[in-house]
Amino acid sequence: MKEQTDLNPSEYRTFRQVIPAMSIPLASIFGSGFLVIVPVLVSSVGAYAVLAMLVVSLVAFQAGAVVRHNIIYAEPVLAAKENRMALMVERLSSLALVAAYVVSVCLYIHILSSFVL
């Protein structure tokens, strides 16, 4: 992990530069996520949907912790291109992301069709 003193001055970011980069994707993820997950939870757990949404939010926060950890520790390893196993896992994760997008689109289509029909 880089110490604050090791950073080049051109790498410093102000709070105003960082917030739009974080908040716009975060708002999109929250909007899409709640749009998709709330009807699914209501139909599957009924009155416990609020509690289930809290659990989903906690799991999502922990997934974010994994992403933050990877940005700090794994990105420098990948940038060095010395660890072949890390590079292979990163490429395989791209395939997993494609599969996740396909499932997400199918879920959106299913939810849209339930509102239309």
How far apart, in whole angstroms, are the C-alpha atoms of residue 93 and residue 97? 6
Model confidence pLDDT, tens digit, residues 52-94: 989 988 888 888 888 888 888 888 888 888 888 988 988 898 8
pLDDT of residue 1: 47
Query: pLDDT over 90 for what percent of the chain?
Result: 9
Residue in the block written with tokens 């939870």: 41
- Predicted TM-score (pTM) of the model is 0.54
Ranges of H-type helices in 4-74? 15-45, 49-69
Residue written as token pair 């716009």: 24
Phi and psi for 81 in degrees, rounded to 5?
55, 35
pLDDT digits (tens, 9 = 90+) for 11-65: 666 767 666 666 666 666 677 777 778 888 888 999 999 999 899 888 888 888 8
Buried b (16+ CB within 10 A) or exposed e, 33-50: eeeebbeebeeeeeeebe
Q: What does the domain layout of the chain look like in residue ranges?
A: 7-116
Cβ(42)–Cβ(114) below 8 Å: no
- CA 60 to CA 70: how far, in whole Å? 15
